[in-house]
């Protein structure tokens, strides 16, 4: 059965799921998106994801042509059309079809797309052995140039850092902000454990406030682990007792080396394992 894609109120076969070459998301990266997980037919933190999508759209002055409730229904309908209970959902809202100029007024109606597909996770071996990562030379875009809270369809900044990681034989790379502080990875948030306390960069470091990041912070505090949102440097990463990443696809995954420095004993740490276990219990109830 061909994958069904939701576009502007209709579910169409993947082969027919097309947008105009004049859509400003294609021409200029002018759009916003969310990556969302569903477990057992339940969309994880659905309200938070939809709120963030609408906040991103509002921040860049895109008016989504449907209510949040209608958007949620579109996601559930797309999952049902593809007979999926466990899924990765990509919700995209573009500026819409315009002309070859930048003027957003030439785009009368945004394009709404929902894709629901089988999730592709990191291979199990990475959860057992952990990831090797590097620090990318590509810096995060300054927050006063573009708010990191806008989940924009223009990911070139992250892609360039990703290429650096791939060329170094890694599947992730740490990105620093303009001040040289740790921000996040190309697609994940980052945490370290130091002295029994979890530490992660604060919003003002120029990070996307990840939904999984927030869930892990809640879990850690519930089980008695202190959490600090604080400025981190590469040195803090190098001397950490544990390090892990969080993200929609990654969930919680350990990091065992950074720029060639071994973290802890070179294996995913016990706190990382405990948080992954608790996160999976949370998302796979019943």
> Which residues are catalytic, by number?
151
Pseudo-torsion of CA 187, 189, 192, 193, nearest 10°?
-130
List all residues 6 or more positions away from 255 whose beta carbon is below 8 Å from its beta carbon.
130, 131, 132, 133, 172, 190, 243, 244, 245, 263
CB 244 within 8 A of CB 272: yes
Strands 189-194 and 242-247: antiparallel
Answer whether 263's CB lies under 8 Å from 242's CB.
Answer: yes
CA distance 130 to 273: 11
Residues 211 and 248: beta-carbon distance below 8 Å: yes
Pairing of strands 4-7, 10-13: antiparallel
């Amino acid at each position: 059965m061909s994958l069904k894609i939701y576009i502007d109120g209709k579910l169409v076969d993947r082969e027919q799921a097309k947008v105009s070459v004049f859509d400003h998301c294609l021409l200029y990266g002018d759009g916003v998106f969310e990556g969302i997980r569903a477990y057992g037919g339940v969309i994880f933190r659905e309200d938070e994801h939809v709120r963030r999508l609408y906040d991103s759209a509002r921040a860049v002055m895109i008016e989504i042509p449907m209510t949040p409730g209608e958007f949620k229904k579109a996601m559930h309908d797309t999952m049902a059309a593809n007979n999926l209970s466990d899924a990765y959902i990509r919700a995209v809202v573009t500026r819409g079809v315009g002309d070859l100029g930048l003027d957003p007024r030439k785009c009368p109606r945004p394009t709404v797309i929902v894709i629901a597909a089988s999730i592709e996770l990191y291979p199990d071996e990475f959860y057992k052995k952990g990831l090797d990562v590097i620090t990318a030379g590509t810096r995060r875009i300054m927050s006063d140039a573009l708010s990191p809270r806008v989940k924009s369809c223009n990911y070139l900044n992250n892609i360039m850092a990703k290429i650096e990681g791939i060329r170094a034989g890694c599947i992730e790379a740490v990105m620093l902000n303009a001040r040289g502080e740790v921000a996040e990875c190309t697609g994940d948030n980052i945490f370290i454990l130091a002295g029994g306390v979890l530490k992660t960069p604060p919003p003002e470091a120029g990070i996307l406030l990840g939904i999984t990041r927030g869930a892990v912070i809640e879990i850690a505090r519930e089980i008695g682990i202190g959490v600090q949102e604080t400025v981190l440097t590469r040195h803090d990463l190098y001397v950490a007792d544990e390090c892990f990443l969080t993200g929609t696809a990654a969930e919680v995954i350990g990091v065992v080396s950074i720029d060639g420095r071994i973290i802890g004993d070179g294996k995913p740490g016990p706190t990382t394992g405990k948080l992954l276990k608790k996160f999976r219990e949370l998302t796979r109830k019943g």
